[in-house]
Amino acid sequence: MPIAYMERTRQRYAQYLPYRWALNHEAPWTPLPKPLGDCRVALLGSGGFYLPHQPPFHEGDASYRLIPKDTDLATLRIYHHAYRDDDADRDPNCVFPLDRLREFEAAGVIGALADSAISFLTLYSARREVEERAPGIVAELRALGAEAAVLVPV
């Protein structure tokens, strides 16, 4: 079933001031220093997944959840305000491909999968992303020893 995305977005945010788009004139680029097959890879997904013992996300939430790499995806819960989660309920891999990355690890496509994946919600504030959430996620990625990441935006 198609979603009239733009109209839905206009209605949802009608009470707010018009969005000020972030202007990024440069994008930092760091090439991998070694083959992907030798890298520890982390999964980051903005699909709003969390474990039953973790607090659910809420609208405007700038936090994130660590999802251990050996998690049974059937145990995951979802809170997200911006997409219909019927498909993700049936198969979380469509927006949080942890099973696929475990398969890549087993096949040697990636060197190793980081011990935890990182799940969060999309924020509509570039400032909050950069100032509030990003420093924590960067620290987590470093602590996990991640050398590359797969980002799955929703």
Under the banding of pLDDT at 50, 70 and 90, the label for residue 2 is low
Number of domains in the chain: 1
Q: Which domain holds residue 75?
A: 35-152
What percent of the chain stands above pLDDT 90?
62
Residue 143 lies in a domain: yes
In a domain, 22, yes or no: no
Note whether residue 46 is domain-resident.
yes
What CA–CA distances, in Å, run from 25 to 22, 129, 132, 139, 148? Answer: 10, 17, 21, 25, 23
End-to-end CA distance of the chain: 17
Q: Is the pLDDT of residue 112 over 60?
A: yes
pTM of this structure: 0.85
pLDDT tens digits along 18-33: 777 777 788 788 889 8
Three-state DSSP state, 67: strand
Biggest CA-to-CA distance, the chain: 50
